[in-house]
Structure 1
């Protein structure tokens, strides 16, 4: 943004700062920042950490870039140049401290763009893998698409900063080549998303024919609609920057010498960047208002009726029930109060480690779990693990073998969901 007007940098700074505020609010409402922890449950592997921190690191870097140039631009203002009129003060007339900040700010921008490529390349490769997977047992981490994502991410992280460093002698050329390289990379990924958007309705229809549950269909339909909007704004983000980059590397600039055209393209790009990033945030960290309300209500009821003092002298002997559930290694679903009370007393949730210990991922197909049930007389029937009969077990196994739907379809919540991969 060395040659753009202060208004463009101010728009970028204002939009990215407001998005940072929305990011903090959304993550707090999502899970009180628990998803940002390094060890967030047993499924916080290397892949999830890379995806989480690459996305969340790119946003502050863009904010630093925009706010930094906005401060520099407004401190230097405009200058009258003979033959050109009133223009933003050229960088040659900036103070030494302002000129020394150009390269670090451009490096922030190039690193942020490289991390963004990592994020969107993973989404692109994953959905190509899922739509084209011909077997329910295909592994994402051993697929060709995962290798493409890994190689492409390494290339992006290495090449983007190197382009900025190698062209640092001329800030105008540095900006032009950075915009051109990052813009072409992001634009190509956005174009490759179009086949996914085109085939996704057919993919949903195939899931319906396979009798996939309604919740999964609804979840994927919501993702498809959000992704359509995001792709539109990503075009608004990348195309203007590609135009400015192509014009900037040419010997004679026609667009970059026109303040109106430069500012218009820069502002459109800023709006596209922030809106598409906001939709990415919603996709990566999808909030469930219903689940949040239920969780708050459960916590409120637990504070009102703690297990040790619930209903006076504990007429249901809830402590004994809780110990019985724990000793039998059954997940505590819910204990309901006597029939004269309408309150529900939720047990404490098990940790992820306990769930993994008590319910291993590879269970015998003959075992099924039954949760606690409230009977009509107000009593509680304890949950248990039971074995399918010899007649039903072959039928269940036959249905499972026939399914060609990859298990990731059922488990997918977001690119960062703990059960997604």
Structure 2
């Protein structure tokens, strides 16, 4: 069933989704020409490939859900109470055809929640992939991998069952899916706090080592992205948690107040939109990152205007912001910008 929260909330998210889908696709294509989606990488179950697939499935699913919900909301219309207040028509007054479509739409939402929460738990595995690439260190232990995969599997199994479990209770069928979803976000936020300190630890350890400045710049970038992403997750979680708990009370004071319910829904929707943008830049930060060598990279540099070639090991304190990299057939040249 369609949640009664904020009449235009679905349309707001649907419009954002229709802009985000092509934007994300164009950005990813400009960065790596969809290299992560090539079959040989998907077949190896590479973390970046799996996260990219989950990203597009989630974004498409929630956009489709919001589109159908918007269609139903505006097709069924509103009712005017005796005091002149206009409210969305209760689902109990909907046509049978629209109710069937609404039930189908609910399972779309459950699919989104399942994949979204599975992906958020697997995000820690993606951080491990990144730190392994940048500093050759593990972000999480092998036991944490198993925990993350277990949580992801539980989310995929449980969410589709929620509408079936609460099918005989209209109120719980509306409230519990969202409440369960935001409750799952609580350990995700705790994971995010842990990730912040883990990135900070790697940043401190990278100072003063070979290519330390370049490695640190990468780690700082991902730490900042993690902080922003978790902030948005927290905003959406708090907003919908408050509305969901209030929806279980007899008075439903917050949900019955049009301004407050719309305010919380808009805060959550704003955070939801930022989530997709931040995730895009987490998985695909840009081509400039490809020029940053890690500690395992050996590059021969030639400083233009100097006949003496020098190795990368003699340049730990060099300010790379003042230079540009150009490739020749057998070496990379470092020239002044």
- Quickly name the TM-score band, shorter chain normalised: 0.7 to 0.9
Match for residue 95 of structure 1?
Answer: 95
1:154–1:279 CA distance, 2 compared to 1 (3 A): same
| SS across alignment from 1:3 | coil
Matches within 5 A, 1:33-44: 33-40=34-41, 44=44
- Is the 1:124–1:189 contact (alpha carbons within 8 Å) kept by the matching residues of 2? no
Aligned-pair CA distance for 1:250: 3.1
**CA gap 1:369/1:180 in 2 versus in 1, 3 angstroms:** closer
Q: Distance between the aligned counterparts of 2:298 and 2:201, measured in 1?
A: 34
TM-score w.r.t. the length of structure 1 is 0.62
Partner of 1:2: 3
Q: Give the match's secondary structure for 1:255.
A: helix
Q: Return the offset for 1:272.
A: 0.5
Query: 1:179: how far off?
Result: 0.7
Could you list the per-position Cα deviations for residues 45-89 of structure 1 after superposition, in whole angstroms to 9, with x for gaps in the alignment? Answer: 265554332222111111011111111111122102346832111
Per the TM alignment, residue 139 of structure 1 is displaced from its structure 2 partner at its CA by 9.8
Instruction: Report how many aligned residue pairs link the two structures.
Output: 297
Q: 1:83 to 1:128 in 2, by over 3 A?
A: farther
Looking at structure 2, the residues matched to 46 and 171 of structure 1 have their Cα atoms a distance apart, in angstroms, of 42
TM-score, normalised by the number of residues in structure 2: 0.76
CA shift at 1:267, angstroms?
1.4
Query: Which residue number in structure 2 is paired with residue 193 of structure 1?
Result: 192
Going from structure 1 to structure 2, the CA distance change for 1:247 and 1:225 (only over 3 Å counts) comes to same
Contact 2:206 2:215 in 1 (8 A): no
Instruction: Name the counterpart of 2:17.
Output: 16
Give the match for residue 122 of structure 2.
122
Give the number of the structure whose alpha-carbon radius of gyration is greater.
1
Q: Deviations over 1:208-253 (max 9, x none)?
A: 1444543221111111122222222112221111112212233442
In 2, the alpha carbon distance for the partners of 1:146 and 1:199 equals 16
Q: Which has the higher helix share?
A: 2
What secondary structure sits across from 2:41 in the alignment?
A: coil
Gaps of 5+ in 1: 293-364, 377-421
Equivalent in the alignment of 1:275 = 274
Q: Where does 1:6-405 land on structure 2 (aligned, <5 Å)?
A: 6-40=7-41, 44-45=44-45, 47-82=47-82, 85-124=85-124, 127=127, 143-198=142-197, 200-211=199-210, 213-289=212-288
Gap regions ≥5 residues in structure 2 = 306-337
CA positional deviation for 1:150: 0.8
Indicate how the Cα distance of structure 1 residues 104 and 19 shifts in structure 2: closer, same or farther if over 3 A, else same: same
The answer (yes or no) to whether the contact 1:110–1:182 under 8 Å persists in 2 is: no
Which segment is superposed worse, 45-54 or 231-240?
Answer: 45-54
Q: CA separation in 1, counterparts of 2:290 and 2:209?
A: 28
1-side partners of 2:300 and 2:198: how far apart?
A: 39
Report if aligned partners of 1:62, 1:108 keep a CA contact under 8 Å in 2: yes
Aligned equivalents of 1:72, 1:24: Cα separation in 2: 28
Structure 1 residues 128 and 69: alpha-carbon distance in aligned structure 2, compared to 1, 3 A threshold? same
Assess, with a 3 A threshold, how the Cα gap between structure 1 residues 7 and 97 changes in structure 2: closer, same or farther: same
Equivalent pair of 1:23/1:281 in contact (CA under 8 Å): yes
Deviations 1:338-365 (A, max 9, x none): xxxxxxxxxxxxxxxxxxxxxxxxxxx9
